[in-house]
Amino acid sequence: MEIETACRYKLPIIFIIINNNGIYGGLDKDSWAGLTENAEPKTLATDIPANCLLPEARYEKLADAFGGKGYFATTPEELHAALQDALKHKQTAIINTMISPTGQRKQQVRSILFLFLFLFSWRGWCGESSPLAG
């Protein structure tokens, strides 16, 4: 396991986990409780969506277990403080950062910008005789 190896060799690696309680998206605490509170053990596997993980799973405890340092952040301020502290201590650390389980990805414009920069650079590499030279 990567965390154990990093701690064993005392590597100053900071792992930042972006935790949304699932794969692609999970459930918040209340929704999880609603599904699991009175569920029958034999139907629990079908009642909970397969992409959902335990709400607010404390992954940072893995660092603590192997001799590193773990942090749990729920706000940008807590994330900033955890990162500053982790950088100061220079040891293996995990920062478990909670985000909204229902948040949607923002539209990305980097791909278009990258394509434009690539084509502009390609023109310079190929010279004026390139089909892209226009």
In this predicted model, what pLDDT tens digit does every residue of 55-81 receive, in sequence order?
Answer: 888 999 999 999 999 999 999 999 999
Could you tell me if 85 and 121 lie in one domain?
Answer: no
Distance CA 87, CA 100 (A): 26
Whichever domain contains 67, its CATH number is 3.40.50.970
User: What's the structural domain count of the chain?
Assistant: 2
Residue range 10-26, pLDDT digits in tens: 999 999 998 888 776 77
Which residue in 126, 128, 15, 134 sits closest to 63, CA to CA? Answer: 15
Could you tell me if 21 and 55 lie in one domain?
Answer: yes
Distance CA 15, CA 95 (A): 6
pTM of the predicted model over 0.85:
no
Could you tell me if 27 and 82 lie in one domain?
Answer: yes
